[in-house]
Structure 1
Amino acid sequence: MQSQGLLSMVGTPIGNLSDISTRVAETLAASDVILCEDTRVTGRLLAHLEIHTTLVRCDENVIASRVNEVLERLERGEHISFVSDAGMPGVSDPGQRLVDAALDAGLRVEVIPGPSAVTCALVASGLAMEHFYFEGFLPRREKEQCQRLTELAFIPGALVIYESPRRVAATLSNIAAVMPERRVALVRELTKLHEEVVRDVAPSLAQTIAARGEVRGECVIVIAAPTEDESKNRVRAFLAEQGQVAPTLEEAIAQGLAAGESKTALAKRLAKTFSMPRGEVYDRIVSVSAG
């Protein structure tokens, strides 16, 4: 009986090769082929591990043409691994397309955990991250980038953005223009010898980084979640642009109760809208309904 094939999505180090796990090394060594974004980058990793598995380029430019071939090989029982240049494959890279196709075909997929720049940067930033949103790379043009940042400013959580060292100063300047109240952390060279975290209010951080001139290393920007006051002001400003008036919390509660919305569901919804603790909103709902 033919064994079932397996697609392994393998997380690799984001800088420090010592972060590689035994399971990652064993999986790569046991694979029939390893798909990767850049054979030179992954080749250096395999040389470090003394692994000689065949490498096949599978970046965003060619992955569409490789999907059917990969599925056929999996159906024949082969073990295929996919790695990105660094970090968890499938996160802001083309590997997600392979996972989607393999699952739709009823084939086995496993994830071999490894370092992730998203979670590492969040922890390193020291900023509150009860909720967070991963944006990846922003649009490059200033107008489109500022428009996207304006949209992201409404999200009630920390924001994680990838940026190249060549563009990071300009991006921080745009963040300062759109979200001047926010604390922002620039996390650079994660897990490497010169790892650095620089934190400040957005305008001050933008000035600090601009004054440096050249910035080196891969960069992750973490933007703190909006305060309650900022969220309310943004909602009011947005509604004012639409010719509407933003309701107060009490008015929103009264509207929800009148519509028959349960107290629990209403508290959950309004806590997000007003960026408040759900328990506090629930207590206000109980107070309004009792009155």
Structure 2
Amino acid sequence: MAGTLYVVATPIGNLADITQRAIKILGDVDLIACEDTRHTHKLLKHFGITTKTISYHDHNEEHRQKQLIEMLEQGMNIAVVSDAGSPAISDPGFRVVRSAIDRDLAVVPVPGPSALIAALTAAGLPTDEFFFAGFLPSRTGARQTRLHELSTIPGTLIFYEAPHRLAATLNDARQILGERKAVVARELTKMHEEIRRGLLSQLVEHYASVEEPRGEIVVLVDREVLENSAADSETKTVSELVAQFESQGLDNRAALKKAARELKLSRADAYRQLVAERGRT
């Protein structure tokens, strides 16, 4: 009989956040596949768990998942964990879960802490619709392109960011997404937890003037562009907005679509207005 793959969430900082079910599963399985065995051993030792561990991380994920699938098919029960939070969410785990499903093996979620959900619930931004974008690209051009793609999503935007890129990312977000409410959640559930709320421009100013922050960071951006920013757009013509967005890297089609949205026009109306404006020049 084949074994079961358990996808187990672990604390993102405060060890008291682990669930009783997670403790039981980690103690009962035959093997724990973990992102960093040394890190996970600290957690297991704290709860008196002696289950054998094996490394499973970004650098060996493709090779290791094949081994784990073979073990599951041989009848072993295996838990997969990340260093913190829920596996497979911007962490290793996706490949082995997909492989297990492809082979009709049982995959059981053991839910628990998640940095993005913890940040969202405390942010004070809309929670009815949200989009998790993982880590934005590290290179400026690629990051700005990604932010342009995210700008039309009608929900709260959530992404993880490294401390040394936070100020640059917030500045890019302000320039591309416009003025919006935003939140930076840092070191959640830990001793130095910080949740800073404000406008994107205020957060840009703050993090540009302080020492580089430390720890794990979640950035959340409201879906709504504030009226005072929209008012600036409403004073511009379609052709001016298209030129502005093209200068930011959008192609003509995407620039026209965004200009139409800013001016609350249909794309067809915006196109007709653009043709008319250019015909007058």
Question: Which 4+ stretches in 1 moved above 6 angstroms?
Answer: 228-234, 247-252
2:96 maps to which residue?
98
Distance 1:194 1:94 in 2: 26
SS at match of 2:164: coil
Q: Is the contact between residue 87 and residue 115 of structure 1 (CA under 8 Å) also seen in structure 2?
A: yes
| Paired residue secondary structure (2:95) | helix
Q: Residue 32 of structure 1 contacts residue 80 of structure 1 at CA under 8 Å; is this kept in 2?
A: yes
Q: Over the residues paired in the alignment, what is the CA RMSD in angstroms?
A: 2.7
Of the structure 1 ranges 66-75 and 56-65, higher mean CA displacement relative to structure 2 is found in 66-75
8 Å contact kept, 1:165–1:216: yes
- 2:177·2:225 contact (CA, 8 Å) conserved in 1? no
Cα offset, 1:94, TM superposition: 2.1
- CA gap of 1:189–1:251, structure 2 versus 1, over 3 A, is closer
Percent identity at matched positions? 40
The counterpart of 2:115, out of the listed 102, 114, 117, is 117
- Alignment-derived partner of residue 60 in structure 1: 58
Matches within 5 A, 1:159-238: 159-227=157-225, 237=241
Matches within 5 A, 1:144-155: 144-155=142-153
Pick the aligned partner of 1:38 from 27, 36, 39.
36
Paired residues of 1:121 and 1:190 also in contact (CA < 8 A): yes
What residue is the counterpart of 1:258 in the other structure? none
TM-fit CA distance, 1:152? 0.7
2: CA distance between counterparts of 1:226 and 1:69?
A: 47
Give the C-alpha shift of residue 231 in structure 1: 8.9
Q: Is the 8 A contact 1:153 1:226 kept in 2?
A: no
For normalisation by structure 2, the TM-score amounts to 0.82
The Cα shift of 1:26 comes to 0.5
- The answer (yes or no) to whether the contact 1:180–1:203 under 8 Å persists in 2 is no
Deviations 1:10-44 (A, max 9, x none): 00000000001111010001111100111111111
TM-score normalised over the length of structure 1:
0.79
Structure 2 CA distance for aligned equivalents of residues 162 and 250 of structure 1: 33
Q: Measure, in 2, the Cα distance between the counterparts of 1:71 and 1:246.
A: 50
Q: Distance in 2 between matches of 1:172 and 1:56?
A: 38
Displacement of 1:250? 9.5
Measure how far apart 1:176 and its partner are.
1.7
CA deviation profile, 1:126-179 (whole Å, cap 9, x unmatched): 111211000010011111111111111111110001011122122112112212
Once the 2 structures are TM-superposed, how far is the Cα of residue 246 of structure 1 from its aligned partner? 4.3
Check conservation: 2:12, 2:84, Cα contact below 8 A. Answer: yes
Distance 1:246 1:28, change over 3 A: same
Report the secondary structure of 2:163's partner residue: coil
Runs of 5+ unmatched residues, structure 1: 253-291
Q: Tell me, in whole angstroms, the C-alpha distance in 1 between the residues paired with 2:230 and 2:103.
A: 44
Shift of 1:228: 8.9
Distance apart, 1:180 and its partner CA:
3.1
Letter in 1 for 2:212: E
> What does the per-residue CA deviation read over 1:94-153, in whole Å, with 9 as the maximum and x for residues that have no partner?
201111000110101100011011111111111112110000100111111111111111
* Residues 154 and 249 (structure 1), Cα distance of their counterparts in 2 relative to 1, 3 Å cut: closer
Alignment partner of 1:107 out of 97, 105, 108: 105
Contact 2:179 2:226 in 1 (8 A): no
| Equivalent pair of 1:154/1:231 in contact (CA under 8 Å) | no
Structure 1: distance between partners of 2:97 and 2:85 = 16
SS of equivalent to 1:167: helix
| Corresponding residue SS for 2:10 | coil
Indicate the larger mover: 80-89 or 177-186. 177-186
| SS of 2:41 mapped into structure 1 | helix
Q: CA deviation at 1:194?
A: 1.8
Any unmatched runs of 5+ in structure 2?
A: 247-251, 268-281
Q: Which moved more, 1:187-196 or 1:106-115?
A: 187-196
Task: Tell me, in whole angstroms, the C-alpha distance in 1 between the residues paired with 2:156 and 2:230.
Answer: 13
Distance 1:51 1:29 in 2: 5
Alpha-carbon distance in 1 for matches of 2:195, 2:27: 35
